[in-house]
Amino acid sequence: MPPASRTWTVDSIPDQSGRLAVVTGANSGIGQVTAETLARRGAHVVLACRSPERGRAALDRLLAAAPGARAEVRRLDLGDLASIRAFADGWDHDRLDLLVNNAGVAMVPFARTADGFESQFGINHLGTFALTGLLLPHLAASPGARVVTVSSEGQRFARLDFDNLDAERGFRTTVAYGQSKRANLYFATELQRRADAAGLPLRSMAVAPGLTRTNVLTGGANSRRGRLYRTLIRSLMRLAFRPTPEGAKTSLYAATVADLPGGSYVVPDGPFQLRGEPVPRHGERAQLDTGTARRLWDLSEKLTGVPFLPWDHGGAGRPLP
C-alpha cells in the first residue's frame, strides 16, 4: 500500500462550485458530514434520505452551519425499488457530477426489504446497484462524473456465497453484512471496468471509513435490540471508534482528489485499515476477482430489473459489455 499523504486534510478539498452531488443517507453520520463538507466547498448537494423529516432536519443543520450553501433534500429508500425508481425518474437537473453511495445498514436482525430481499444485501448492495444504474444517464452527461461507494474493512473477511446471498439457507447477521460490503467493492470495481470498456468518462471508487462513531449500529432496526445491546455498543464506540468526521475522510478523499484513478479503493492507512489517513489501495482480492464480479453483476441486474445502458459523452447509447 502506498504511504498516506500526511498533508491531505478536508481543508485540502478544492473549490467544488458548479459541482452537483447526491449523497445517500445524508441525514446522519458519515453521510451528513460528507454532504455538509461538500456544500461548504461550494457544491450543490442533494441529501437523499429515507425519512423526509430527518432529511429536513439534516438540511436545516447544514444550512445553519453553512449559510448560503446550495442544498436540497429528496426522499430515497434504498430498501424499496419503487422509491429508487421514483428518485431517478424525478431527477430534474441537467446532469449529475458525483454520486456518493453512503447509505446502508449494519448487523441488523433478519428482515426483508419491500421487494423481499434480505435487508443488508438488499439495501447495501442491490439498492446501491439499482440507484447507480438508474442515474447513470445523468452521470454520463457530466464530463468528470464520479461514483463513490462506501464499503467496509469487514469485507476483507467475507466471501460471497451465491447459494445464500439472500439468506435462502439460514441467516447470520455478521455474514450477511460482510457479504453486502464485499459486494460493494465488487460493484465499484466492475463498474469502472465496464465504464472503461464503453468509453464512458466516469470514475468509480470504493472506500472503507474505518471504525467510526455513527448510528449505523444503534439506529434503525438495531434500535429494537434492547437496552443492553445499545449500552454495550455505545460504550465500545466511545472507547475504540473514531469521531464521525474522521470516518468521512475516505469518502471525501475519493470524491475530490483530482488525480485519483478510477477503480481505487480508499482506506485508512493504519493497522487493519481501521484508522489513519486516507490512502488508495490497489490489489485487494475482490478488485482482481473479475469472475465473481461479473457473476454478481449479472445476478444484480436480474434481481433489480435494472440493466446498465450508459450513454457516452457524445450522447450515443451503447450497452456495457
Quick: pLDDT tens for 228-283.
545 555 555 554 556 788 999 999 999 999 999 999 999 998 765 566 899 998 88
Burial class (CB in 10 A: 0-12, 13-18, 19+), 175: middle
Domain regions of the chain by residue span: 15-301
The three three-digit cell numbers of residue 150, written as one number: 462506501
d(CA 155, CA 181): 5
Least confident of 105-119, 138-152, 211-225: 211-225
From residue 192, alpha-carbon distances to 90, 155, 177 in Å are 26, 19, 23
CA angle, 65 then 244 then 12, to 5°: 65
More confident residue, 310 or 199: 199
CA 238 from centre of chain: 24
Q: Looking at residues 298-321, what average pLDDT do you find?
A: 69
**Domain 15-301 is of which CATH architecture?**
3-Layer(aba) Sandwich (3.40)
d(CA 145, CA 95): 9
Over the stretch 7-44, which tens digit does the pLDDT of each residue have?
789 999 999 999 999 999 999 999 999 999 999 999 99
What letter represents residue 42's amino acid? G
Confidence of residue 312 (pLDDT cuts 50, 70, 90): very low
Which candidate in 177, 186, 253, 265 is catalytic?
Answer: 177
Active-site residue, 177 included: yes
d(CA 180, CA 186): 10
Q: Which residue has the cell 460528507?
A: 34
Computed over every residue of the chain, the mean pLDDT equals: 88
